[in-house]
């Protein structure tokens, strides 16, 4: 099983890299597996690689579910 997390691209970097934000945390990832990404695009990230471009509404929904899961486990 693999887990990927929704992220938003905030800066496209040289050499197939990008800076993304995941719920307020910045991370540098590889975009070598996907062509044509731009600032503002949402992607699924797994172990430092963008695996797929996704709809922003789906990214927001996914992050909301992860926040719910996190708060439920802290109670």
Cβ neighbours of residue 42 closer than 8 Å, sequence gap 6 or more = 6, 7, 8, 9, 53, 54, 55, 56, 58, 59
pLDDT in tens, 3-27: 889 999 999 999 999 999 998 899 9
pLDDT in tens, 29-54: 999 999 999 999 999 999 999 999 99
CA–CA separation, 42 and 53 (whole Å): 6
- Tokens 């471009």 appear where? 53
Number of folded domains that form the chain: 1
| pLDDT for 65 beyond 90 | no
CATH (domain of 20): 2.30.30.140
Considering the entire predicted model, what is its pTM?
Answer: 0.85
CA–CA separation, 51 and 67 (whole Å): 22
Task: Find the domain containing 48 and state its range.
Answer: 5-74
């Amino acid at each position: 099983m693999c887990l990927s997390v929704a992220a938003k691209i905030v800066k496209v970097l040289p050499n197939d890299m990008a800076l993304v934000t995941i719920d307020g945390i910045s991370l540098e990832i590889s975009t070598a597996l996907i062509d044509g990404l731009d600032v503002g695009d949402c992607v699924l990230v797994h172990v430092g690689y963008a695996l797929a471009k996704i709809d922003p509404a789906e990214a927001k929904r996914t992050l909301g579910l992860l926040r719910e899961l996190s708060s439920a486990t802290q109670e």
